[in-house]
Amino acid sequence: MAERDDLLNALLAARDARDAAASESARARERGRRLRRQFAQAERTATQDDRSHAQLKRLRLQLDEADADLRARDTGRAAAAAREAGLRASLVRLLDPSDTITRFDDSLPILLMPVRLETRFKTIDVAGAPPRHELWLRIFPDDCWIDGFEPTLTEAEVRNATTYWAGIWQAGGVEAQQRGAWADLVSRHGSGRAAWIVKQYRPLNEPAAPAKTAPDDLVLVATTETALAAAEEAALRTFWTAVWRAADDAAAVTAARAALDTAVGAARAAELVNTVVPVNIATQPPAGHTRATTVVSTAILVLPAVETRQASWSTAPKATLLPEAFMFLGYRTADDPNPIRQIGRPVPSPLVVGPDPSAPQDEQLQPDDDGNLVVPDALRWLSDFPRAVEDGMGMVIPLEG
């Protein structure tokens, strides 16, 4: 009992370490892909000047560092996976479902999850001996077992989250306008994914969100990933508010720019005006108002810099809640006192059930030189029955006696 509990605790810790190593490896691979895209783009647009050469050299160095980091992460991932597999095999040898179920708390319900079974009765000819009769059993997890969740946000999700938060700040606490921002994000990603996006990507200065006194008030919202100094932010907010009120009044715009230059310096002012621009600067006055009568203010929304992935699908779908091992019970008759009983081999956790687009090229589902499909090792249980038996998703059950 103590040995089993110790092994179980060690296995859970090993799985956490393996999953963390796999996540780090995936992030490192995505970082390398992003740097390769940047390097290729820089090569296409490079000129003969020193600045282009310096940029290419810097990107090449970052790419080499990313490749070295990926190799280290993959080594750690493999070591963590091997440790988890060894502990799982040790634990399963101590597990007997017939015994374990007697330790369950009777006050807790048992959830029975569906699986799909495929069976074949086989007669195996053995030289010099009578034929051997076997039942070959294959187990496939149902759809409800499959987890295709992608925790890392895509580039598109971050763009849409930026639009969402800008809309929330423009709403200034007016619920109907906040609902519009939420509905737009849900229409793009679904309610569940939208909730995850909002949870993962939140403003760094969220407590500074503006509040309107009336629904027709206008909040101009500019976004940045770098918080501004208090004096710079105040000057920039004053500038954009004046620019919106000025509209086509060139003299008023020039005066506003001169005031910003004085407050933060001409060079810094030019940088801010080009990079921290309200997303709704072109908004017209609400119905019944002019630019002079509209209550308008400017808010600076500071959003985090996060690592993203380019593709919407970047990891393999997995079955994460399968038992440590399956047990087969076969009854010859309804009142058979001695049913056939067999425990399968340990089931990998998680069990990979589909291709992994982020895996190295040699671990991808692909044809060989002869046109035959090469199945990655993690997916071989789907097409190779002996491998299914090895991975606990198949059994060979003798029917003699």
Partnered with residue 329 across adjacent β-strands are: 341
Q: How far apart are CA 268 and CA 355, in angstroms?
A: 49
Q: Name the E strands within 200-241.
A: 218-224
- Identify the pLDDT of residue 120: 95
pLDDT given at position 1: 55
- For residue 298, the number of C-alpha atoms closer than 13 Å in the C-beta half-sphere is 23
Q: What is the mean pLDDT of each run of 10 residues along the chain (401 residues)?
A: 74 84 80 82 75 80 87 87 82 71 82 92 86 93 86 91 97 95 95 95 94 95 94 96 93 96 95 95 93 95 88 80 88 85 87 82 78 86 94 91 58
End-to-end Cα distance, the chain: 33
Alpha carbon distance 97, 327 (integer Å):
7
Give the CA-trace dihedral at 72, 74, 78, 84, to 10 degrees.
90
| pLDDT score recorded for residue 230 | 94
CB contact at 8 A, 59 and 38: yes
The H or E element spanning position 121 is strand 115-126
Could you tell me if residue 338 is left (phi over 0), alpha (psi between -120 and 50 degrees) or otherwise beta?
Answer: beta
Beta-bridge partner residues of 299: 221
| Cα separation, 213 vs 296, whole angstroms | 11
- pLDDT value of residue 384: 94
| Closest C-alpha among 70, 59, 68, 62 to residue 27 | 70
Centre a 10 Å sphere on the Cβ of residue 399 and count the other Cβ atoms it contains.
Answer: 14
- CA 117, chain centre distance (Å): 31
- Across the strands, what pairs with 297? 219
Contact yes or no for 398/134 (Cβ under 8 A): yes
Q: Which amino acid is at 354?
A: G
Domain residue ranges in the chain: 1-94, 155-302
Backbone phi and psi for residue 165, each to the nearest 5 degrees, phi listed first: -65, -35
Q: What is the CATH number of domain 1-94?
A: 1.10.287
pTM over 0.85: no
SS3 398: strand
Contacts 24+ apart (CB under 8 A), 338-341: 340/397, 340/399, 341/98
Residue 385 · residue 138 · CB < 8 Å: yes
- Separation between Cα atoms, residue 382 and residue 388, nearest integer Å: 7
Rg (CA), the chain: 31
